[in-house]
Amino acid sequence: MKKFLKSPEYQRTGSKEPWAVLVGEVPIRNNAKDEVQEMAVKDRTAQTRYFVKNFPKVYPDYLMKYMKMMYKGHSEEDIKKIIDNSKQNKEATQVIGLIMLFYLSLRLAKKMNTGCRLYIIEPETHLHPKRQQAVMYVLDKIFKEHYPNGESCERTV
């Protein structure tokens, strides 16, 4: 989130520029390269570690909601344990960081009425094949929650 907030592109107000969410090895146009915010594996790891260290035993509703989608069949208590023990679980680290960064970035941009482009690098890193399938479903659910009609938004997957 710090990288996103410090971006000169983010500081715009009243922008009507659409969102472009780039996932995987999607080529980025050269003229848009400076506007793209990368969400790399290390960013997701840093976000999760920061959250768990500074907010122990805190389980935001949005995180629990999307973790339940990622870990179908797990109880709420199991998911809380997964979050608490994410430092030892590379998969959980990536899932939590991805959900948090994506959800909070969309929420913040919508609130501030700004445009931004996210490039999610290797979203499947450290994920079990079941979770690899679920990650795109969850990202789409998060996107639709913020932009139910796709208003002023553009997705590239």
Q: Which long-range contacts (CB under 8 A, 24 or more apart) does 67-74 make?
A: 67/95, 67/96, 67/99, 69/134, 69/137, 69/138, 69/141, 70/95, 70/99, 70/131, 70/134, 70/135, 70/138, 71/131, 72/134
User: pTM, whole model, 2 decimals?
Assistant: 0.74
Taking residue 75's Cβ as centre, other Cβ atoms within 10 Å add up to 10
Check residue 26 and give its pLDDT: 38
Residue 73: give the domain boundaries: 2-6+18-26+35-156
- How many domains does the chain fold into? 1
Q: In this structure, is residue 12 part of a structural domain?
A: no
61, 125 contact by CB (below 8 A): no
Q: In this structure, is residue 13 part of a structural domain?
A: no
- The per-residue pLDDT string of the chain (157 residues; one tens digit each, 9 = 90 and over) reads 455 445 554 444 344 444 444 433 333 333 333 455 678 888 889 889 989 988 999 999 999 999 999 999 999 999 999 999 999 999 999 999 999 988 888 787 777 666 666 778 888 888 888 888 888 889 888 888 877 776 544 444 3
